[in-house]
Amino acid sequence: MLKLRQISDMYNIPVYTDTGEYFGDVEEGIITMTKVFGWRVKATKNSFLTKVLGGAKGVIVPHQLVKAVGDIMIISKAAVPSYEDKEEMAQAEE
C-alpha cells in the first residue's frame, strides 16, 4: 500500500546510510513541478557529514538515492561524499 506524506512532515527527521551510519537531518525537500528532486541534508553534531565536510553546512541528496522513508530516511551509501580517497592520495604523495 502506498502511503502519502507531506514534505513538511519530513523536516528534521534523521538520515542514515544503508550501512547504518548517521548521516544528518533533513533540512528541506527540493521539488520540481511534479516530483521531489532531492533533499537538503544538514550536517549535525556527531554526524558522518560533519566528519567529511568539516565547515560545510550540508549536502543535497538526489531523491533517486533514497531507499526508504518512515520515522527515519535511509539513503544509499553512494550519496556519501568520498573522503578516504583524498586521504590515501595525500599519503601516497608523501
Averaged pLDDT, 67-86: 79
- Pick 79 or 94 by higher pLDDT: 79
Predicted local confidence at residue 84, as pLDDT: 55
Q: Which residues contact 48 (CB under 8 A, 6 or more apart)?
A: 17, 21, 22, 23, 24, 80
For residues 17-22, give the mean pLDDT: 90
What are the DSSP calls for 49-85, one per residue? HHHHHTT--EEEEEGGGEEEESSSEEE-GGGSPP-HH
Q: What is the pTM of this model?
A: 0.77
Which domains, from first to last, does the chain contain? 7-93 (2.30.30.240)
